[in-house]
Structure 1
Amino acid sequence: MHVCQILKTKSPELISVTPDQTMVEVLRLFRENNIGFVVVSRLPGECLGTLSERDCCNAVAEYGTDAPIMRVSDIMNRSVATCSAQDFLPFVMAIMTQRRTRHVLVMDGDTTVGVVSIGDVVKHRLDESLRNEQALHEYISGTNHH
């Protein structure tokens, strides 16, 4: 399966924040939208970096009580894991494993077009397993004749 097929199943909205926002503002956005990851940008499609729940936890561990009022630009991840919409899912899974990340940005050249999360990968693999199981049951029971 290509990454573009996963993107078709997701909301096209890509939630982003600016580098000038504070960590606590981003955490509120996480809560309001039930997410744990955003792209940092000033313009649509741009990626200056990313910020995840893990990045926020690391900032608190490093900066203590100053972390919540720190600017996103001071705590964001600048080493962003990326792929293209034409990449295959196992390739993205390998990136997630090698980079120890739960999110990979999908890029079209220099433009961010989406995000694939570990949740998206698990959902796809579960759906695939259920389809295979159903097909095997139908094959064994002889209910799927062509």
Structure 2
Amino acid sequence: MTVKQILDEKGRDVVTVRPSMGTEEAIRFLADNKIGAVVVTDGSGRIAGILSERDIVRAVAARGVQALASEISEIMTSKVTTCGEQHSINQVMELMTNGRFRHLPVEEGGKLVGIISIGDVVRRRIEDIEREAEDIKAYIAS
């Protein structure tokens, strides 16, 4: 299974925010949308960073409550790892494991076309394993 197949099933809608958004506002945004990370885009729609719950926790741990008054551009992860629709689940699992992150923006031709989470990847991998097990049972039974 590929990232394209995951996005075709789950959808390609991605909520984004601007780097100038305040951290406190971003926290409410994450909570209201029930998400753990949001892609930060610049004026032209290009990926400028990603803001995750982990970024917020680290900022508060380092700067205290003052971190909440800053713009997210000050605390977001600027160097964003992305994948393409052609990546396999195994490649994406490796990227997420090695990078120690749970959200991966999907980019094609320099444009953001979706986002996948570790939950999306694990769910599809479990489905694949269950399908393989059923195929093996059917083969043995025949």
| Alignment TM-score > 0.5, same fold | yes
Q: CA deviation at 1:44?
A: 6.5
The match for 2:16 is 16
Write out the 4+ residue segments of structure 1 that deviate beyond 4 Å after TM superposition: none
TM-score normalised per structure 2: 0.91
SS for the counterpart of 2:101 is coil
Residue 89 of structure 2 contacts residue 125 of structure 2 at CA under 8 Å; is this kept in 1? no
Long gaps (5+) in structure 1: none
Residue 37 of structure 1 contacts residue 52 of structure 1 at CA under 8 Å; is this kept in 2? yes
The match for 2:88 is 88
Aligned length: 142
SS for the counterpart of 1:116 is strand
Bigger RCO (CA 8 Å, 6+ sep)? 2
Counterpart code for 2:96: M
Q: CA deviation at 1:139?
A: 3.3
Residue 12 of structure 2 contacts residue 115 of structure 2 at CA under 8 Å; is this kept in 1? no
Long gaps (5+) in structure 2: none
The match for 1:139 is 139
Distance 1:25 1:11 in 2: 26
Residue 81 of structure 1 contacts residue 103 of structure 1 at CA under 8 Å; is this kept in 2? no
Distance 2:92 2:26 in 1: 26
The match for 1:47 is 47
The match for 2:63 is 63
Distance 1:116 1:45 in 2: 18
Q: CA deviation at 1:46?
A: 1.6
Counterpart code for 1:128: D
TM-score normalised per structure 1: 0.89
- Aligned-residue Cα RMSD (Å) equals 1.5
| Aligned-pair identity (%) | 39
